Structure 1
Amino acid sequence: MTIVGDLAQAGPTTTIRRWSEALAPFASTGIARHTLTVNYRTTAEILEETRPLLARIAPAQQLSRSIRHGEQPITVAAFKDDISAVLVGLISSARSEHPEELVGVIATTARAISLETELDGAGAAIVAAPDARGLEFDTVIIVDPDGIQSGSEAGIQDLYVAQTRATKRLATIMVAEVGNPGA
């Protein structure tokens, strides 16, 4: 039997941090553990963006090496009331530059629900961060990473998962309540 997984992407119901803990109840002998070190899906630039979160979630886990290179991830600041307009601009840009590719917007559960209505027909899938595991998009736009992190006990893992859903491009919208978002 082969079991493949990334414990740094584990959901909210687990406290297991090592494969030996995960497998101990089922098999204590005859296990050969191999660490996969090459990433064929996500670009090196996106993986590098995940490095700080991975270091916090699983300090002993090494970042895999990507064989693909692509665009540098971008970060955009927006006022809370301007998020939809900023998103429409980012989605429109991605759709016009890459019309056949998939665009995903990942946000907190509450924000994802409201964005589904606000962005209906904009050309992107809207996904709540806890539901992003297993999905892939060419372009991912993460809305309010701080909100995702503080949204649940597994918020930091949800954000890490959100970042790793992008196969080619990653954009992050940092949300400012009031004042100058660029400050």
Structure 2
Amino acid sequence: ALVGPPGSGKTTTLWCLLRLIEPRRGRVLLGGLDAAGLSSKELREAVGLVPQEAAVFEGSWRLNADPLGEHGDMRVRQALRCVGLPVKSLDEPLGTRGNCKLSNGQKHLLGLARMVLRQPPLLLLDQGCLATDRGTLEAVRSVIAAELPLSTVVATAHEAEALRGFDRIVALRDGEVVDQIAVSAGAG
């Protein structure tokens, strides 16, 4: 997990993992492989992102949870339910871009439901998902533990408290690592 004040380099680090920007020095290894050698398709299959501003598409719950239509209704409902978003109808619209009926916390839970469906080997949570209310934060932690047990999770937050439960916390300031803490399995 990465912690630091705004502008410390947390999101930039995630962008390097996604190859949206290239690191100024060094290289990014994913599963021991140099990310620069991975195709865009391989990278998309390996990495999932719940961004600071969780995207909601104009359309139904089904479209928003499973944009590529890869999963059946039962699996989509299960993913939405496990993140705390039980819906009556998968065909129910979520509203228009400027008039979405979901709170920011619910948008992040929807993004997490997408990841439950995808099961990416590497899951990136950019601070918005962990900067919501305490109930949403606990729901996110619970979903990760129960539904994404095989995913390596890299999360970012402004405050270390939001990162409770992570194995390692790296503190950043001005793009530099200023501290690293390995947390024992029983902590948190």
Per the TM superposition, whether the score is higher than 0.5 is no
Rg larger in structure: 1
Bigger RCO (CA 8 Å, 6+ sep): 2
State the TM-score, normalizing by the size of structure 2: 0.35
